[in-house]
Amino acid sequence: MPKPISGFSKLSKSEKIDWLLDTYFTDKNQSKTLVEQYWNSDKKLQKLHDEFIENTITNFYLPLGVAPNFKINEKLYTIPMAIEESSVVAAASKAAKFWLERGGFKAEVISTEKIGQVHFTYDGSFEKLETFFKTVKPKLISDASAITKNMERRGGGILDIELINKTEDLENYYQLHATFETLDAMGANFINSCLEQFATTFKDEAEKILEGNIEIVMSILSNYVPNCLVKAEVSCKIEDLKSKDINNPQLFAQKFKQAVNIAEVEPFRAVTHNKGIMNGIDAVVLATGNDFRAVEAGVHAYASKSGQYSSLTHCKIDDDTFRFWIEVPLALGTVGGLTSLHPLVKFALDLLEKPNAKELMQIVAVAGLAQNFAAVKSLTTTGIQEGHMKMHLMNILNQFEASNEEKEKVVEHFKTNIVTHSAVVDTLKKLRQ
């Protein structure tokens, strides 16, 4: 059984690896070779990656793919996507091409407000606290001026601070609820720095005036950004939906709308429905150096805003017109963080022609909508597995270390046969006999 280790973070990278190999692995040489295989041969580049996080031992690669032919607000994009799941990039590309021939995607940013909160307790009179807050609010903002001046110079900064009484939910619990505009930065560090200054000023001033005890619990931004919204949509005449796999456009439109309606009212379906949306969103968020965990948390909270988890996309048929759209909260940045550090993030943003934060919000929302369109279209026509398993075929062949010749023969076989894991294994076995 492994023993605890003290001072692990102070060891060199090679010492960390040696300890891991000695403690957990029987074939130390093979494991060490594997770790070292994923190091970058450029030592400067490897050092940069080593310093992104703590206790780095190697790099963990994800494929970076691209989905071309995205027409967004009359501009053509090729969208970078970092993801490990088969068929996601192919589905996005297919949806992009489908809508390219039908007018493309329309997208607009509705609002860009971000939120942070100072959580505190107070055991005195709320009326006195409220009066005190009104007098101290200008000082909260002015004391943060050293933090906000650069952001204000660019047109952003603190939008407002409110006092929120939450004592009905939790005894003596209050908030300073602050809203911010951070422009092209995601703004987490900026917001958190402002909040901590608010907390310091608020407590210092309160102790001079208020009767009762104020305790700052924590100061932190929120990843729930219901007022940092972007909308993306597609629409066309129902008859224009006709394609090689849509013979009856009217029937397709009705079935597609019904599938979306089901996701609006059935949480079990909505979770999987939205997961497909996030396949597209997360892949672009990750490729552009943004925080996909924060985006996920905020998006799923937004999907529950009515009190029941529901679809992020919606569909409507007006007379002879098909409309499909998404409205989603996205707090993204194109400056700061990894955007100026990670070479492939810089490549991805260059590929998108250096978008600002609002443009990136639109691109990401469109990627989510396209992914969802492709998924629901497959579900309501051919079924999801036919396309997905064909894309997954190469993963199965690589798992069994198929040669190039074997891959060619198996791929040819499954052009006319249904792909399942067992069927691929059986076909490969027969070839090898």
Catalytic residue of the set 13, 139, 275, 390: 275
pLDDT at residue number 138:
98
Residue with token string 């993963």: 395
Catalytic residue of the set 257, 273, 377, 388: 388
Q: Are residues 217 and 329 in the same domain?
A: no
**Cβ contacts of residue 154 below 8 Å, gap of 6+?**
183
CB 254 within 8 A of CB 317: yes
CA dist 219 and 225 (Å) reads 16
**What value, to the nearest 5°, has the Cα angle with vertex 422 and ends 63 and 390?**
40
Residue 166, CA distances (Å) to 97, 160, 163, 176, 178 in order: 50, 19, 10, 11, 15
Asked if residue 1 is part of any domain, the answer here is no
Confidence of residue 102 (pLDDT cuts 50, 70, 90): very high
388 is catalytic: yes
Average pLDDT over residues 273-293: 97
CB count in 10 Å sphere of residue 127 = 8
Indicate if the pLDDT at residue 384 is higher than 60. no
Tell me the pTM: 0.89
Provide the domain limits for residue 127: 114-222
pLDDT at residue number 372:
98
Q: Are residues 232 and 372 in the same domain?
A: yes
End-of-domain residue from the set 190, 222, 254:
222
Residue 232, CA distances (Å) to 80, 105, 328, 369 in order: 18, 7, 9, 7
108 is catalytic: no
> Chain-wide mean pLDDT for the chain?
94
Q: Are residues 218 and 92 in the same domain?
A: no
pLDDT at residue number 236:
98
Average pLDDT over residues 323-352: 94
Asked if residue 234 is part of any domain, the answer here is yes
Q: Are residues 245 and 376 in the same domain?
A: yes
- Hey, is 163 helix, strand or coil? strand
Catalytic residue of the set 50, 85, 108, 327: 85
Asked if residue 55 is part of any domain, the answer here is no
Which pair of tokens denotes residue 302?
Answer: 């937004």
Which residues pair with residue 161 across a beta bridge? 178
* pLDDT tens track for 338-353: 888 999 999 999 999 9
Packing angle between helix 384-399 and helix 88-100, nearest 10 degrees?
A: 140
pLDDT at residue number 394:
77
CB 288 within 8 A of CB 184: no
Residue 254, H or E segment: helix 249-265
94 is catalytic: no
What phi and psi, each to the nearest 5 degrees, are found at residue 101? -85, 0
Extended strands (E) in 380-429: none
CA 355 to chain centre: 17
85 is catalytic: yes
**Cβ contacts of residue 430 below 8 Å, gap of 6+?**
none
Asked if residue 57 is part of any domain, the answer here is no
Q: Are residues 193 and 324 in the same domain?
A: no
Q: Are residues 119 and 216 in the same domain?
A: yes
Q: Are residues 258 and 376 in the same domain?
A: yes
Catalytic residue of the set 181, 205, 282, 291: 291
* pLDDT tens track for 196-230: 999 999 999 999 999 999 999 999 999 999 999 99
